[in-house]
Structure 1
């Protein structure tokens, strides 16, 4: 299992909309994440900095293939059309990234 953290900005005017979307995530989107070996997915909001911190645990063996399956899913792509306008990717992210991954520097069980 691999713990993964990521960060992205959120536009203040879309915070309520983003919260409402995530209060009722579409079942098909959740199923696709589970099929891609994603578990314990959590998103935290930090205001007033307007940052979203995402955390999940990856239980698979081919992360790139599993993420490609998520990205190819039509229902997930439709979900992203609602979420993406709320988000503000960090300027420091690498090319091709939307959420910026974070380095795990400490863990305590």
Structure 2
């Protein structure tokens, strides 16, 4: 199992809508997340900085393949088309990232 954390900005004018749609995520999007071996997926919002922090646990053996499978899913693509205009990626993210990856520096069970 691999723990993953990522961070992303959220445009202030979209906060209410982002919360609303995430209170009722499409069932097929949730199913795809599970099919791609992601568990314990949580998104936190920090205001007033308007930062989203995502955490999940990956239980598969090939994250790149599972991420590609998720990205190829037409329903997930439609979901992202709704979410992405609301988001503000960090300028310091790595090339090719939307959500900026974070290094785990501490964990306690």
TM interval, short-chain normalised: over 0.9
Q: Which residue of 1 aligns with 2:8?
A: 8
Count of residues in correspondence between the two structures:
109
- Taking the aligned partners of 1:105 and 1:95, their CA distance within structure 2 comes to 22
What pairs up with 1:93-104 in 2 under 5 angstroms? Answer: 93-104=93-104
Tell me what 2:28 maps to.
28
1:38 aligns with 2:43: no
RMSD over aligned CA atoms reads: 0.4
Structure 2 unaligned segments of length 5 or more: list them.
none
Cα distance in 2, alignment partners of residues 28 and 69 from structure 1 = 14
Q: Distance in 2 between matches of 1:107 and 1:94?
A: 24
Equivalent position of 2:91 in the other structure = 91
Structure 2 CA distance, aligned partners of 1:97 and 1:71? 13
4+ residue segments displaced more than 4 Å: none
